[in-house]
Structure 1
Amino acid sequence: MDLQTFAVQLLNGVQYGLVLFLVASGLTLIFGILGVINLAHGAFYMLGAYLAYWLTAATGSFWLALAGGVAIAFCLGLALEQLLVRRLYGRDHLTQVLMSYGLILVIDEARQILFGKDVHSVAAPALLAGGIRLTDLQTYPVYRLAVCIFCLLVAVGVFLLIHRTRIGMIVRAGAENREMTRALGIPFDTVNRTVFAAGIALAALAGLVVAPISTVFPGMGDGMLILSFVVVVLGGIGSVAGAAIGALLVGLTDTFGKVFFPSLSSMLIYVVMALVLIWRPTGILGRREA
């Protein structure tokens, strides 16, 4: 493998890992902080991609679709937390799994009614069309590079929000000791609703930015859901920074695994997860049990 090909694969791995982080960071917020197992998280990733297709066709602007899709997903998250998810707090995991699985079926049925079973494509914005020439025969798409930068900025923003703001302090305190935080008078109903909606919006945002790279098709969130749980476990449940490390590790492992070990690429991610958990059973940045 020459240097240019290695650089392209490295960029692909980083881009994939950063998109995966958007989904997994939302999942780790919901799972690690609210204590809710949300199997429907991948469905919201798919929903984001379909929103990109629909809103781009309706408005003629990918940028309006991006902003509108995130706003719709956030409002949907607020409504779902108010109507359904708040009933899952403190309940057993089987109840959470059944509720979220039912939500998958509802979202999939709504997708079929609204968009059918066809595969759709979304054009990248004209500003980011074309590619950067690496060699005489090889170019790298500008949009993929823009996705890397955008996702990195979002990751930094999420990290700063969690670790440098009062809202983030409340969220972290609730993750550490929920009952003590509630006893101090923190309005956890509002915090829970906002955290859940933000997690859904991050998953949809990942689908929105991926839509011009990948086709939009039914069930596209299934594989992303599995990988997101792998990232959450790798990084440590409830750790956003751990999710970032885990997502990049999964992205690079998957990308280079398909290049060097194509026949084993489907299992390499799980081998890496097993090795990490042998080393640190609570994940890379997970809290050790006392």
Structure 2
Amino acid sequence: MNAILVFEQLLNGAGYGLLLFLIAAGLTLVFGVMDVLNLSHGSLFMVGAYVAAQVHVQSGSFALAVGVAVVVTAAVAALLEVTLMRRLYGRDHLAQVLATFGVILVADDAVKMIWGPSPVMASAPAALAGPVELFAGLPYPSYRLLVLGAGVLVALLLYLLVNHSRVGMLVRAGASNRWMAELMGVRVTRIFSGIFVLGAALAALAGALMGPLVAVQVGMGESILIPALVVIVIGGIGSVRGAFVAAMLVGLVDTIGRAFLPLLLRATLPPALAADLGPLFAEVSMYALMAAVLAFRPAGLFSAKA
């Protein structure tokens, strides 16, 4: 274990954390402002990944693929919000969970019908196929640097939108006191629709960017939804700042754990057993982090309702 390896894994963890933030930011806004537990958020992430992979293959333009994925997913989310989500406003969380879980099943079958059951291998843009020499002895993939830059830029824009704009003021008002916001003349229906579509667009962006790093496959939305839920619980429901801090923590803990725990376990365990237990312990460490945070701050690090 050397300094270059540690720095490389820190960059990988930051990149994963920023992608988690893109997913969790929309999810925490929907839950915090609308009080709707939307399990189908991961399916929107999956749709964005599939659309981006398909458009990239046909057009050869990665930028166009990302743009089309965001627009198509936002349109799907708008249709979903009008036809289903509006019927769930004011309903209990059990009804929301059951309804949006049904959306997951429908989305998975729809993806199988359109793209088939086999994974789709998305590719990074040709211009970013090679590494960049960050400093002597550390070549780092160009595409991962793009992911880092895009994640930081979106986080900054979202921060400005939520904290330094009139739209953000209305969003924060709804998150703090929905009833009072309605009395002040806020058009809650439009705010809810806009927040839901924005969250879907962020999820689609994350899916399009993550596609070249992992296999685009049916069910990928469900696997990413669990870490995203952990992020919003740690950060505080409804808090974009909390989602960013928590996503970075979870990304670093998960990535560093998967990289270094097997090496540490090999000191006392057989190599094969250490290789199997390392990823499991790394996954458990994410939940241990959540438990530790909730033990001291039950509402999360930055509760929007504080």
Partner of 1:67: 67
How far apart are residue 129 of structure 1 and its match?
A: 2.0
Decide whether aligned partners of structure 1 residues 60 and 134 sit closer, same or farther in structure 2, where only a CA change above 3 A counts: closer
How does 1:90-129 map onto structure 2 within 5 Å?
A: 90-129=90-129
One-letter code of the match for 2:260?
F
Partner of 1:39: 39
One-letter code of the match for 2:48?
G
Asked whether the 8 Å contact 1:77–1:198 carries over to 2, the reply is: no
3-state DSSP class of the match of 1:251?
helix
Asked whether the 8 Å contact 2:45–2:207 carries over to 1, the reply is: yes
Decide whether aligned partners of structure 1 residues 134 and 175 sit closer, same or farther in structure 2, where only a CA change above 3 A counts: closer
How does 1:172-211 map onto structure 2 within 5 Å?
A: 172-211=172-211
Which deviates the most, 223-232 or 181-190? 181-190
C-alpha separation in 2, matches of 1:82 and 1:222: 23
Asked whether the 8 Å contact 1:254–1:268 carries over to 2, the reply is: yes
How far apart are residue 127 of structure 1 and its match?
A: 2.4
Which deviates the most, 51-60 or 149-158? 51-60
3-state DSSP class of the match of 2:293?
helix
3-state DSSP class of the match of 1:212?
helix
Partner of 1:270: 287
Aligned alpha-carbon RMSD (Å): 1.4
1:212 aligns with 2:230: no
How does 1:136-285 map onto structure 2 within 5 Å?
A: 139-262=139-262, 263=277, 264-285=281-302
3-state DSSP class of the match of 1:211?
helix
One-letter code of the match for 1:24?
A
How far apart are residue 187 of structure 1 and its match?
A: 1.2
Partner of 1:286: 303
Decide whether aligned partners of structure 1 residues 140 and 82 sit closer, same or farther in structure 2, where only a CA change above 3 A counts: same
Once the two structures are superposed, what CA deviation does each residue of 1:116-155 show, in whole Å capped at 9, x if it has no partner? 0111112211222210135787521000011001111001
C-alpha separation in 1, matches of 2:134 and 2:153: 24
Which deviates the most, 228-237 or 68-77? 68-77
Partner of 2:132: 132
3-state DSSP class of the match of 2:218?
coil
How far apart are residue 182 of structure 1 and its match?
A: 0.8
3-state DSSP class of the match of 2:212?
coil
C-alpha separation in 1, matches of 2:155 and 2:52: 21
3-state DSSP class of the match of 2:216?
coil
Once the two structures are superposed, what CA deviation does each residue of 1:167-189 show, in whole Å capped at 9, x if it has no partner? 00001001111111111111111
Once the two structures are superposed, what CA deviation does each residue of 1:20-74 show, in whole Å capped at 9, x if it has no partner? 0000001001111111011111111111110111111222211111011101111
Once the two structures are superposed, what CA deviation does each residue of 1:227-262 show, in whole Å capped at 9, x if it has no partner? 000000000000000000000000000011112324
C-alpha separation in 1, matches of 2:304 and 2:21: 20
Decide whether aligned partners of structure 1 residues 163 and 288 sit closer, same or farther in structure 2, where only a CA change above 3 A counts: closer
Once the two structures are superposed, what CA deviation does each residue of 1:258-289 show, in whole Å capped at 9, x if it has no partner? 12324311200001110010111100011577
C-alpha separation in 1, matches of 2:59 and 2:132: 28
Which deviates the most, 129-138 or 182-191? 129-138
Q: Which contiguous aligned blocks of 4+ residues in structure 1 show a shift greater than 6 angstroms?
A: none
C-alpha separation in 2, matches of 1:156 and 1:180: 29
Unaligned runs of 5+ in 1: none
Q: How many residues align?
A: 289
Unaligned runs of 5+ in 2: 263-276
One-letter code of the match for 1:274?
A
3-state DSSP class of the match of 1:154?
helix
Structure 2-normalised TM-score?
A: 0.91
C-alpha separation in 2, matches of 1:135 and 1:91: 55
Percent identity, aligned pairs only? 46
Partner of 2:272: none
One-letter code of the match for 1:155?
A
1:86 aligns with 2:86: yes
